[in-house]
Amino acid sequence: LTAASGGGIVAYADSARAEEAPEPPPRKKKVVVLGTGWAGTSFLKNLDSSRYEVKVISPRNYFAFTPLLPSVTCGTVEARSVVEPIRRMFEKKGKDVAYYEAECFKIDPTKKAVHCRSAVGTNLDGNGDFMVDYDYLVVALGATVNTFNTPGVMEHCHFLKEVEDAQKIRKSVIDCFERASIPNISEEEKRKILHFVIIGGGPTGVEFAAELHDFLVEDLVKLYPAIEQFVKITIIQSGEHILNTFDQRIAVFAESKFQRDGIELSTGFRVIKVSDDSITVKCKSSGVETLVPYGMAVWSAGIGTRPVITDFMSQVGQGKRRALATNEWLRVPECDSVYAIGDCSSISQRKIMEDISTIFKVADKDNSGTLTLKEINDVLEDICIRYPQVELYMKSMHMVDIADLIKGGVGDSNKESMVVNIEEFKKALSHVDSQVKTVPATAQVAAQQGYYLADCFNKKDHCVEHPEGPLRLTGSGEGHHNFRPFRYKHLGQFAPLGGEQAAAELPGDWVSMGHSTQWLWYSVYASKQVSWRTRVLVVSDWTRRFIFGRDSSR
């Protein structure tokens, strides 16, 4: 029967109805996706586009594999190898996916439309502006650089956020070497030109420093032997350690490796001004300011909010937040049918203390005014789904079960026969919310959110309006929740440190460092490529580099 009706599962479901009253097929809902980075493409790849009319808007018609951008800065990998054309990704998705190369400059949640400006055709007739309306909007605009309003940074520093940035850095490094090779340049001037400064000791800054160091010792010193002695790399970090989102062991390993390599670490310094040839830094402990002459500087110290997001947040009453807040189902709660994923958004996890009285009432099935262990256990699964901080808290306190947690609140009593009243229940859970975790701004999070949201959209038939169904606990008692809230699964992180060495932090407190970890890195990053085409390109770039070294032409 399904085969005869000719349209797979959807047609089968509809055909029973069609026999009674032939209705025109309902209009497909319009889904508009802003951005084609990690979050946007992960959503698009997993969305069943036969259910929706999909429009994608992004000023770049490709996806960029950002973790390899530091390798692009030194030509270890070519820029072309880390990008995948967006239209190729849609090839198999059919006709209902449209892509517009444009920038969204305003989201209008009341009209349910987005205002866009063509990225290419502003000088054609008209000004290239157009409007796209939506039934569902997926905001995946990513983040921008954050200079913290430090004077001179925008004008004089390089950034490492986009493919073009990486290409500019590559040119600029070679520029510095050629400039320092010109005759009649004083030693002092050479030292200045060949001083490469990286501001920010996070994963991106560290990886770039390592790449640059490899480029210098493996390739450039052979080509510019006369000026080798003048080259210096410095990382300026305001905190006490570099890589402070990593395990301490990794930070220590990285710091000692960089020391051996001669990469200078200026920790505890804040950049307060950048001019065309010097950086003013301030020692955080002594307050003393120093001028650091430099040839090239890369700013990689934090991410900021895109203006279109700031504007949207003020429209929906989110004020001056750093990122667009969503609920745990990734929906922007203040408006209708708008979802946000990736670096532009952050999930605000609901606190259990806000709902504690409701939870107590729902759990207290016999209306006795007290909860038995059984009553608590019956709702425990729901509690842990809705408030993951409960599990995190129990884990952090080495508690085996909920009775341990409750007992802390009611004093020592027999687990099985214990009963708690509302006050005791509140007291027992009062510290749980301290374990609310924010998810980091990484590709891993963005990709998982995109995947999760597409999954919700694919199953939307079951829960027509909002993917978040009411939980039995806090909802209207409608039966069962349709969708679990988004839960981030951390799969670990890498820090390539140069010289064919890397550090990795993997789930289960497993840390590995050294040459073998670099091979693990190669295999993980090869396997993570979005297409076979880019995989082949990246692997052949690596091979080419092993055999011939990097290309140092401009």
The reply on whether position 67 binds Mg ion by CB under 5 A is: no
The reply on whether position 65 binds ligand FAD by CB under 6 A is: no
The reply on whether position 35 binds Mg ion by CB under 5 A is: yes
Residues 53 and 96 sit within 8 Å (Cβ to Cβ) = yes
The listed partner (Mg ion, ligand FAD, none) that binds 444, CB under 5 to 8 Å by sort, is ligand FAD
The listed partner (ligand FAD, Mg ion, none) that binds 368, CB under 5 to 8 Å by sort, is Mg ion
Helix pair angle (402-410, 389-396), 10° resolution:
80
Secondary structure tally for the chain: helices H, strands E = 20, 26
> Exactly one of 132, 143, 153, 385 binds Mg ion (CB under 5 A); which one?
143
Apex CA 64: angle with CA 62 and CA 66, to 5°? 170
The listed partner (Mg ion, ligand FAD, none) that binds 498, CB under 5 to 8 Å by sort, is none
The listed partner (Mg ion, ligand FAD, none) that binds 366, CB under 5 to 8 Å by sort, is Mg ion
> Exactly one of 442, 474, 482, 534 binds ligand FAD (CB under 6 A); which one?
442
Residues 469 and 313 sit within 8 Å (Cβ to Cβ) = no
What is the rounded CA–CA span in Å between residue 463 and residue 243? 43
Query: Under rule CB under 5 A, how many of the chain's residues touch Mg ion?
Result: 15
Question: Pattern of binders to ligand FAD over 25-64, x per CB under 6 A?
Answer: ---------xxxxxxx----------------xxxx----
The reply on whether position 37 binds Mg ion by CB under 5 A is: yes
> Exactly one of 142, 152, 201, 467 binds ligand FAD (CB under 6 A); which one?
142
In 3-state terms, what secondary structure has residue 264?
Answer: strand
The reply on whether position 160 binds ligand FAD by CB under 6 A is: yes
Shortest Cβ 527–ligand FAD spacing (Å)? 14
Facing residues of 347 across strands?
A: 326
Largest Cα span, the chain: 92
What is the rounded CA–CA span in Å between residue 69 and residue 496? 12
Binding to ligand FAD, residues 288-327 (CB under 6 A) = 306, 308
Question: Which of residues 15 and 370 has its CB atom nearest to Mg ion in the complex?
Answer: 370
What is the rounded CA–CA span in Å between residue 66 and residue 517? 20
Q: List the structure tokens of 540.
A: 């052949």
**Residue at token pair 């490094």:** 173
Residues 82 and 64 sit within 8 Å (Cβ to Cβ) = yes
The reply on whether position 279 binds ligand FAD by CB under 6 A is: no
The listed partner (ligand FAD, Mg ion, none) that binds 364, CB under 5 to 8 Å by sort, is Mg ion
> Exactly one of 103, 261, 343, 541 binds Mg ion (CB under 5 A); which one?
343
Helices (H), 459-514: none
What is the rounded CA–CA span in Å between residue 492 and residue 407? 35
* Start-to-end C-alpha separation, the chain: 64
Shortest Cβ 159–Mg ion spacing (Å)? 12
Facing residues of 267 across strands?
A: 237
Question: Which of residues 42 and 372 has its CB atom nearest to ligand FAD in the complex?
Answer: 42
Binding to ligand FAD, residues 443-482 (CB under 6 A) = 443-444, 446
> How many C-beta atoms surround the C-beta of residue 77 within 10 A?
28
Question: Which of residues 174 and 446 has its CB atom nearest to ligand FAD in the complex?
Answer: 446
Question: Pattern of binders to ligand FAD over 338-367, x per CB under 6 A?
Answer: ----xxx-----------------------
The reply on whether position 373 binds ligand FAD by CB under 6 A is: no
Q: List the structure tokens of 390.
A: 């409960």
> How many C-beta atoms surround the C-beta of residue 417 within 10 A?
8
Residues 79 and 166 sit within 8 Å (Cβ to Cβ) = yes
What is the rounded CA–CA span in Å between residue 428 and residue 207? 45
Name the residues that contact Mg ion, by CB under 5 A: 35, 37-40, 64, 66, 140, 142-143, 342-343, 364, 366, 368
Name the residues that contact ligand FAD, by CB under 6 A: 34-40, 57-60, 66-67, 69-70, 103-104, 140-142, 160-161, 204, 306, 308, 342-344, 441-444, 446
